[in-house]
Amino acid sequence: MHSRQPEIAAALKVCPPFEGPEAIQAEIDRRVAFIQDCLRQSGMKTLVLGISGGVDSTTAGMLAQRAVEGLRAAGEGDDYRFIAVRLPYQVQHDEEEAQLAVDTIKPDECHTVNIGAAVQGLARAVEALDGLTPELRDFVLGNTKARMRMVAQYTIANARQGLVIGTDHAAEAVMGFFTKFGDGACDLTPLTGLVKHQVRQLAAVLGAPERLVQKVPTADLEELTPGKPDEHAHGVTYRAIDAFLHGEEVSEEDARTIVQTYDKTQHKRELPKEPF
């Protein structure tokens, strides 16, 4: 075991491996109850979540829909709603899977906001983008897309007195694999502490189709490399990341990559610095 594994796992509140189907169902029930408590405590009645077509947003969406249906069934109010939001940039290359995710979740409402014009308009107005290499410009605008998607979600949430759900989990958090103030900005993160294969386990038990459960994860933010797998960006597989977070043996090279990336991205997991 790498000396940093226990420390990092504790910091990310990593959930231990599930011991069978009953444990998975118990975890689903616990996280649904968490979402319901967040609504009760906030006084809000609506949940908003962007649906990409990946297993993370599919799982979080299914949990959210269960949460509001449970509140309605318990007589706590017929006005609890879950809004799924499609946020394509122009035409999404895996739109068919995104629609499959929406059909699987069966949200109370589904809105579509195409962020293409907003991102392009901002790009034309920002002089700092001038002179960048095509690759760097593409990377910068990839983060802009993530931030624009969160702007859209919060606009809907503000209009409907709602909370925005994030999809971050331990296997992404350890790698800092989210855009600061983009998909990293939200009101609640019901997948916190889960490693990637645990998200897949929850999705399968919730009834997601195998096509979505086993889909190759991609942030799909860069136009020059559409559908780029997360693992290519990480430089390490999710299998190795999951093993590391669960205290299992991984190669020295993988452990070094994970720890170095965790340390380098620490600022993304912290609140803004203060002069006190």
- State the pLDDT at residue 214: 95
CA–CA separation, 48 and 164 (whole Å): 5
pLDDT band at 270 (very low <50, low <70, confident <90, very high): very high
- State the pLDDT at residue 18: 97
The stretch 135-148 carries a mean pLDDT of 96
Q: DSSP letters along 194-206, please? A: --HHHHHHHHHHH
- State the pLDDT at residue 219: 81
Q: What percent of the chain has pLDDT over 90?
A: 91
- State the pLDDT at residue 9: 97
| For residue 1, pLDDT beyond 80 | no
- State the pLDDT at residue 226: 82
This prediction's pTM? 0.95
pLDDT band at 181 (very low <50, low <70, confident <90, very high): very high
Average pLDDT of the chain to the nearest whole number: 96
Closest by CA to 167, choosing from 148, 141, 152, 146, is 146
Strands 109-112 and 162-164: unpaired
- Active-site residue 97, yes or no? no
- Beta-carbon contacts of residue 117 (< 8 Å; ≥ 6 apart): none
| For residue 159, pLDDT beyond 80 | yes
- State the pLDDT at residue 93: 80
For residue 47, give the H/E element and its range: strand 46-50
The stretch 95-109 carries a mean pLDDT of 96
Is residue 177 within 8 Å of residue 200, measured between CB atoms?
Answer: no
Residue 207 burial by Cβ neighbours in a 10 Å radius (0-12, 13-18, 19+) = exposed
Q: Considering the candidates 27, 168, 172, 242, report the single residue annotated as catalytic.
A: 172
- State the pLDDT at residue 116: 97
- Active-site residue 168, yes or no? no
Q: What are phi and psi of 81, to 5 degrees?
A: -140, 150
- State the pLDDT at residue 2: 83
Of the two residues 223 and 257, the one the predictor is more confident about is 257
- State the pLDDT at residue 221: 87
Q: Considering the candidates 27, 56, 168, 242, report the single residue annotated as catalytic.
A: 56
Mind listing the pLDDT tens digit for each residue in 55-99? 999 999 999 999 999 999 999 999 999 999 999 999 888 899 999
For residue 86, give the H/E element and its range: strand 81-86
Show me where the domains of the chain are located. 18-228
The stretch 21-42 carries a mean pLDDT of 98
Q: What percent of the chain has pLDDT over 70?
A: 100
- State the pLDDT at residue 242: 98
Mind listing the pLDDT tens digit for each residue in 214-252? 999 888 888 888 888 888 889 999 999 999 999 999 999
Length of the chain: 276
DSSP 109: E
Q: What are phi and psi of 162, to 5 degrees?
A: -125, 175
- Beta-carbon contacts of residue 218 (< 8 Å; ≥ 6 apart): 54, 227, 228, 229, 230
- State the pLDDT at residue 224: 86
Q: Which CATH superfamily is domain 18-228 in?
A: HUPs (3.40.50.620)
- Beta-carbon contacts of residue 192 (< 8 Å; ≥ 6 apart): 13, 168, 169, 170, 173
CA–CA separation, 162 and 39 (whole Å): 9
